[in-house]
Each structure stands twice: as structure tokens, then as C-alpha cells.
């Protein structure tokens, strides 16, 4: 299970790099928007996955594990909201289409990557 989660994260980061490279080749000015969009999805997901991997190692009680999962999910949403809040209050001229396309790409890849890993 641990190896599958790590493989999924690695594949999502690789997909993010491919997206950043593509946007950088298309228009260098939107690369920062693409980076923030990808990171707004990947950083909270990485946080959540690391916390859940720790919980799986140390916990056999289902009720405690579920509480840990809920707290981790709340932390994930707080991190994601903070990234977007910092981005949009920074005053930088973001390209919202590229930013949200990166975010949606990373979120959607979370559904597709497990099928790629299992074949």
C-alpha cells in the first residue's frame, strides 16, 4: 500500500513537471501560474498522504484512524485555501485559466493515476 501511494505521488509530480514544461514552452509568462496551480493541489495531497501513511503504521483502531483521516482532510483544505489566498492577495497578475487548469489537472490525475499503477 505504501509503495502504491508513493508511486501515485511521484506520477502526479511528473505530470506536474510535464504541464509546467508545456506551459513554459507555450508562454513563459504563465509558468508561475501553472506552478501555483499544480502546487495548490499537490502540496495538500502530499501532506494528506504522508499523514495517512503514518496513521496506518501506528494505528489499528478504526475509530481513531477515521478521526485522524478527518483531521488530515481538514488540514489539506486549510493548506489549499492558504495557497490560493496567498496567490490571489499577492498582487501578481495571474493567468486564472492556466492556474486552475493546473489545479484541475492535478486533482483529476488523482483519479487516473491509480489505474495507471495497477495496469
Q: What is the pLDDT of residues 45-101, one digit of tens each?
A: 999 988 888 887 776 777 888 888 898 999 999 999 999 999 999 988 988 999 999
The predicted pLDDT at position 119 comes to 62
Q: Is the pLDDT of residue 111 over 70?
A: yes
The predicted pLDDT at position 68 comes to 84
19 within 8 A of 38, measured Cβ to Cβ: yes
Instruction: Tell me the CA distances in angstroms from 66 to 8, 78, 83, 111, one per residue in order.
Output: 22, 19, 26, 21
Q: How confident is the model at residue 16 (pLDDT cuts 50, 70, 90)?
A: very high
Q: How confident is the model at residue 3 (pLDDT cuts 50, 70, 90)?
A: confident
For 5, half-sphere exposure in the C-beta direction (CA atoms, 13 angstrom radius) is: 13
Instruction: Tell me the CA distances in angstroms from 60 to 5, 56, 63, 101, one per residue in order.
Output: 19, 8, 9, 39
CA atoms of 79 and 25, how far apart (whole Å) = 29
Which residues does 31 contact at the CB level (< 8 Å), separation at least 6? 20, 23, 24
pTM of the model: 0.85
Amino acid at each position: 500500500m505504501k509503495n502504491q501511494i508513493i508511486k501515485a505521488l511521484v506520477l502526479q509530480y511528473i505530470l506536474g513537471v510535464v504541464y509546467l514544461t508545456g506551459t513554459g514552452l507555450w508562454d513563459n509568462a504563465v509558468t508561475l501560474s501553472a506552478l501555483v496551480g499544480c502546487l495548490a493541489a499537490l502540496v495538500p495531497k502530499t501532506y494528506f498522504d504522508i499523514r495517512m501513511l503514518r496513521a496506518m503504521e501506528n494505528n489499528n483502531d478504526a475509530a481513531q484512524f477515521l478521526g485522524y483521516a478527518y483531521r488530515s482532510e481538514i488540514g489539506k483544505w486549510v493548506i489549499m485555501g492558504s495557497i490560493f489566498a496567498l496567490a490571489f492577495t499577492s498582487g501578481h497578475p495571474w493567468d486564472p485559466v492556466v492556474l486552475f487548469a493546473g489545479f484541475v489537472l492535478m486533482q483529476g490525475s488523482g483519479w487516473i493515476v491509480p489505474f495507471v499503477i495497477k495496469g
